[in-house]
Amino acid sequence: MDELKLIFASNLIRLRTEAGLTQAELASMINYSDKSVSKWERGEAVPDAFVLKQMAQIFHTTVDALLSSDTDWKSDNADFSKKEEYSQLFIILCAIVSIFTVCLLEFLLVWAIFHQFHWIVLYAALPVSLTALLVMNSVWYKGRYNFWIVSALVLSLILLSYLLILRFKANLWQLLLIMIPAEIIVWLAYRIKPKPKLKAAENKELS
């Protein structure tokens, strides 16, 4: 049993680190406390079957793999995850380049047909690309970098609003001051996290 605890602890540390999650973030995802995750990673205990199944889904593996010391599944799973990550990255890059290409095409058509330079069309590609990136990052990377994406998106939307107003010969540079409270709101919003609920077994342990 002690050997099983150590095997699981080793696998959990590796998978959590590769996923870029802290103990507190993982604990929140499985509705446990970070103290429990820390205890598992020290090899003091193994979670129940329900939690093991949750972890297997989070790390895209199996319960058997979490409790196995066989190096074969580790290398196979690592190769698969790496290929999957590269594929997702290229899909994201392809989507962003496509958005900028469409905006560039629109800019060139307006230039060629109406002989006008609508530079704002090119800039509009930035918030649109960030919105697409936010969606894909939430789906594939569990929102790991959403704070930075949302911050950039807010700034780009404020700048876009300023440029739109500027087209009407109204230089309302004061609008840019909204960036400060807007970024503070984003920062505060990402500090809001649910308090982990302790399971009944944990409550007995802590009492």
Concatenate the DSSP letters of all residues of 32-101 into one string.
Answer: --HHHHHHHHTTS----HHHHHHHHHHTTS-HHHHT---HHHHHHHHHHHHHHHHHHHHHHHHHHHHHHH
Angle subtended at Cα 56 by Cα 53 and Cα 57, rounded to the nearest 5 degrees: 90
- pLDDT above 70 covers what percent of the chain? 84
State which amino acid sits at residue 102. V
Residue, of 1 and 110, whose pLDDT is higher: 110
Q: Give pLDDT, residue 2.
A: 73
- List, for residues 65-121, the tens digit of each pLDDT value: 888 875 444 444 545 455 555 678 888 899 999 999 999 998 899 888 888 878 888
Q: What is the DSSP letter of 19?
A: H
Q: How far is CA 117 from the centre of its chain?
A: 37
Mean residue pLDDT of the chain comes to: 82
Per-residue b/e over 90-108, b at no fewer than 16 CB within 10 Å? eebeeebeebeeebeeebe
- List, for residues 173-199, the tens digit of each pLDDT value: 788 888 899 999 989 888 886 655 555
Q: Identify the burial level of 47 via C-beta atoms within 10 angstroms of its C-beta, where 0-12 means exposed, 13-18 middle and 19 or more buried.
A: buried
Q: What are the residues whose beta carbons fall under 8 Å from the beta carbon of 131, sequence distance 6 or more?
A: 153
- List, for residues 112-146, the tens digit of each pLDDT value: 888 887 888 888 899 999 999 999 988 887 788 89
Q: 152: pLDDT confidence band, cut at 50, 70 and 90?
A: very high
Q: What are the residues whose beta carbons fall under 8 Å from the beta carbon of 135, sequence distance 6 or more?
A: none
Give the largest Cα separation in the chain, rounded.
77
Q: What is the mean pLDDT of residues 149-166?
A: 91
> Which pTM was predicted?
0.53
Q: What are the residues whose beta carbons fall under 8 Å from the beta carbon of 144, sequence distance 6 or more?
A: 20, 137
Nearest to 46 by CA among 66, 20, 19: 66
Angle subtended at Cα 112 by Cα 108 and Cα 169, rounded to the nearest 5 degrees: 75
Q: Give pLDDT, residue 53.
A: 92
- List, for residues 24-40, the tens digit of each pLDDT value: 889 989 988 889 999 99
Q: Give pLDDT, residue 87.
A: 78
